[in-house]
Chains A and B, each alone.
Chain A
Amino acid sequence: MTVAPVKEEKRVFMTGNEVVAWAALAAGADIMYGYPITPQNEVMHYWSRLAPRYGKSFLQTEDELSAGFATTGGVMTGSKAFTATAGSGSVLMQEPMAMAEMMRLPTVTIVQQRGGPSTATVIYSQQEVTLTTMGGNGEGIRVVYSTAGHQDLYDYTIKAFNIAWKYRFPTFVLGDGYQAKMREPLTIYDPEKRGVKLLQPDPFVGKEGEPGRDRPPAQYRNTYNLEEELYEKIMSDMKEFEENSADIAEYESSYTEDAELVIIAHGIVFRAVREALDNLRQQGLPVGAFRPVTLRPLPVGQIKELVARVKKILVVESAYGQIARLIKEKACGAACEIHTMFKPGIGIAAEEVEVRAKEILAKQ
């Protein structure tokens, strides 16, 4: 009855939001819950058009609280459910995502960052890093991928479903308004044809048989009576998170071995850094670049090694210190100088990174 959405590899030219819809289809997602907020609306527009053709479902809820909680309900039935949001919607999403953290629910959420705080702009920022990594009232037991363009959006949206269902941590794909709205080429593909096995979800509730007679009832809670109970639960989850962190964490690095200055950035900003790096290296300057792909868990080992060895670090972001804070925490105690370039809510061009890098190299 339903046709496989992406059969053959195909080079396409589309907006990031459309990429997300296709990736979710390719990952075998069953249902999307969503609510309008710019700049992620088109994920819903494409999904609601494609859904009936592929036997998928869609629900526009009354708000993001509902979309997030509906997603938790969806995953509990053993369906690959996802949602998408941005800005003030991300703030609202924290309540359901905190529940997902506590109850180990494999939700997938795409976040297309826009200016903040509050309504700010509909355009772009990297100001939802803190929210997406640590936004609930807990310890941030979540997986967060920060994409740097359409191929990433496609690859990591597919991966998010697998990682979520494998490890049972709420998983996020952190994009931004530029990626959402821009058009660039990418290759869409059927993941299984590339040897990526898509995990089959199993239900938390509604399994076969009568509870109490044929099987124990599946009973889940997020409430605890005593401090000690909670402590045990959190410590157990964190242990599992930490034990799997090395497997989950991803990063990208260039020319860090001989660099005097390493530029650290994530997401779309890293593209400006790559461009600047090319120019700087062409001029013979000892610069390298490092990109955490997972913001949670961070590639801690690589970051610690970098800050222990390299003389200067420059952290560049379209926010006021949200990724810098995460890096500094891991860099604690290292001797390297940490410089920053904060441009909250505004895009960063390669030329700006280049100028700043040269300034830093010039200082002794």
Chain B
Amino acid sequence: MPETTTKMVLAGEGGQGVQAIAEILAEAANEEGRQALYIPNFGVEQRGGVSVAFLQISDHAIGSPKFLKGDIVAALSERAVQRTATYAGPETVFIYDSAMEGVEDDLPEGAARVIPVPAMEVAKEEFHPRVYNMVIMGALVGATAVVSLDQAKAAIEKRLGYKFEKNPQLRDLNFRALERGIEMGRWPKGGIN
């Protein structure tokens, strides 16, 4: 049976915008007429815990909000690597930031591919550290092709448009970071399929 559901797990520190990326992708997929189910997962603290988002995008009705293994797992912080390694199975593409230190022992063994992505480096050197999550989002879009670039941009605009109105340069910055991320996600040898 052709696999038309993409299951994604994103995790990072509170404040890294993990929930924002997941919500934006979910909105974009929904606008495109695909089925999307997004659910956040965190503990009691208002701040400080690892923030995890589960996202499923599909062409047919989505079942359980919870799944055991993701098709793609993205960890934005060292703690996130530890927290999400469990969601990586033999078919999972596990991505993490190449700037992370001390995570070698926590990386999932047995994942299909474990890919260090220089998202933070690219964000810092080409854009601004704050669009780190946008680069990651681009990498996910590039790797999975779950939504089109146009829909991704539209969803970002919908969510962050009010900030862009005040500072139009932010729009350009975010979109370029997104596109750069997409480029990175498609390399090497295409994404998860």
Contact = CB atoms under 8 A, between A and B. Distances in A.
Query: Does chain A touch chain B in the assembled complex, meaning CB atoms less than 8 Å apart?
Result: yes
Contact of A181 (B30, B40, B64): B40
B43 interface: yes
Per DSSP, chain A at the interface is mixed
B70 to A, nearest CB: 11
Interface string B41-83: 1011000000000000000001111111100000000000000
A91 B83 CA distance: 32
A197 to B, nearest CB: 30
A181 B1 CA distance: 31
Interface stretch (B31-39, B112-120, B127-135, B141-149): B31-39
A13 interface: yes
Contact of B36 (A122, A185, A268, A269): A185
Contacts of B43: 121-123
Interface stretch (A99-107, A127-135, A270-278): A270-278
A338 interface: no
A182 B39 contact: yes
A269 B37 CA distance: 15
B36 A183 contact: yes
Contacts of A352: 68
B24 to A, nearest CB: 11
Nearest to A278: B63
Contacts of B65: 178, 182, 268, 271, 347
B97 interface: no
A349 interface: yes
A185 B63 contact: no
B63 A13 contact: no
B66 A348 contact: yes
A272 B64 contact: yes
A19 B114 CA distance: 39
A282 interface: yes
Nearest to B22: A183
B122 to A, nearest CB: 29
Contacts of B44: 38, 122
A236 to B, nearest CB: 42
A13 B30 contact: yes
A244 to B, nearest CB: 32
A184 B37 contact: yes
A13 B27 contact: yes
A282 B64 contact: no
A351 interface: yes
Interface string B8-32: 0000000000000001001100100
Interface of A: 13, 38, 121-123, 178, 181-185, 268-269, 271-272, 274-275, 282, 347-352
19 contacts: A122-B43, A123-B41, A178-B66, A182-B37, A182-B39, A182-B65, A184-B35, A184-B36, A185-B30, A185-B35, A268-B65, A271-B62, A271-B63, A271-B65, A272-B63, A348-B64, A350-B63, A351-B69, A352-B68
Given A38-B44, A271-B65, 4 more contacts: A13-B26, A181-B40, A185-B30, A185-B36
